[in-house]
Amino acid sequence: MGESLLKQGHALAVLERQRGVIEDGAAVEPFERRLAATGIGELRATGIDVFQINVGRLCNQTCRHCHVDAGPDRTEIMTRQTMELCLAALRQIDASIVDITGGAPELNSDFRWLVEQVRSLGRHVIDRCNLTVLVLPGYDDLPEFLAAHRVEITASLPYYLEQQTDAQRGEHVFERSIRALQRLNEIGYGRGDGLMLNLVYNPVGAFLPPRQAAIEADYKRELARRHGIVFDRLYTITNMPINRFLDYLLTSGNYDAYMRKLAGAFNVEAAASVMCRTTLSVGWDGTLYDCDFNQMLDLRVGDGLPRHIRDFDAALLARRTICTGKHCYGCTAGAGSSCTGATK
């Protein structure tokens, strides 16, 4: 199992330097200029439909493409006190979806408490799950807990074959993921009866995702045929040039070509429906961001806006101007990319 960039003392772990690499190192025009040229202009939020909470950077995996730089050596964990601030903010808005992410959010010792509290407010919970956490010793009852609270599981499985999955996520991850999926199916997930189980495809390398409907058909056919696994939806998510994927791009010599590919595939329709327009991202320490990607670059919400969840102001944040950078080309390339897959 590898180490995070932070633990390695990697140059990219200094976020100011990383932001410089992305803005100055990529030979593509500034994202803001591209938006202006399309007539979209300044990107503004249209509301807060999804309240995304990153409960920490601790993870039991160290995936090569991770934009979070999550891993077993990370110590940033959201406290219950910060979670209570999140709940206080949630009570002020109608956001129907709370999207809990990490790291591996389930490794936060208050994860279950948070789920219970959010559900008691009548909001729907999405758990961004790496699957292998469900087969860790001591987490055997987690699938039943998630089912009891009707939590929607959106789980990473970059490909339906072992070689590609393990290349991105680590040795034995595929085999453990299959076991976890079979367990979830056994208790009713993914069978079309209301316990939603979605999978996420990430390219295992420096290329764009395929058409979502086409690869979903492949996953459904192959996972059923090979492993007897069923699920609801497949989402394709473009790899973002942030943290460990950025490091991969630089060390493999693919950075320039990948950024040119992202910018070259700019889709104005995808740009108009980017997820940051309807999502608010809360960091492990309560800091506010436009999205999880901005969070990992420590690009906080803009000037004049509440910067911490304790100062939450729904009116201001629901119509905020969104902070952008060249990494945003990742969400606007091709069919677009978001936490729920292709946007077009």
Give residues in contact with other proteins (CB under 8 A). Answer: 159, 161, 163-164, 201, 203, 205, 207-211, 214-215, 218
Question: In the bound complex, what is the minimum distance in angstroms from residue 262's beta carbon to other proteins?
Answer: 12
**Taking a C-beta distance cutoff of 8 angstroms, is the pair 143, 134 a contact?**
yes
Report the residue number, 117 or 212, with the smaller CB distance to other proteins: 212
Helix 162-169 to helix 173-186 angle (10° resolution) is 110
Least spacing, CB of residue 224 vs other proteins, in Å: 17
Distance CA 271, CA 335 (A): 10
Which phi and psi (to 5°) does residue 63 adopt? -65, 145
Closest CA to 116 of 146, 94, 91, 139: 146
Give the torsion sign (CA, 85, 16, 42, 66). negative
Alpha-carbon distance values, 329 to 29, 131, 235, 240, 340 (Å): 10, 28, 18, 9, 17
CB of 331 to other proteins, least distance (A): 17
Residue 168 CA to residue 31 CA, distance in Å, equals: 28
Q: Return the structure tokens found at 111.
A: 């994860």
Nearer to other proteins, 160 or 293 (CB): 160
- Comparing CB distances to other proteins, the nearer of 218 and 285 is 218
Q: Which is nearer to other proteins, 112 or 261 (CB)?
A: 261
* N-term to C-term CA, the chain: 36
Q: CB 204 → other proteins: shortest distance, Å?
A: 9
Shortest distance (Å) from residue 283 CB to other proteins:
33
**For other proteins, the closer CB: 75 or 163:** 163
Q: How far is the CB of 275 from other proteins (least distance, A)?
A: 22
DSSP 278-294: TEEEE-TTSBEESSHHH
Beta carbon nearer to other proteins, 88 or 257: 257
What are 80's two structure tokens?
Answer: 């219950």
- State in angstroms the smallest separation of the CB of 215 from other proteins: 4
Q: By C-beta, is 64 or 112 nearer to other proteins?
A: 64
Tell me how crowded residue 49 is: count the other CB atoms within 10 A of its CB.
Answer: 17
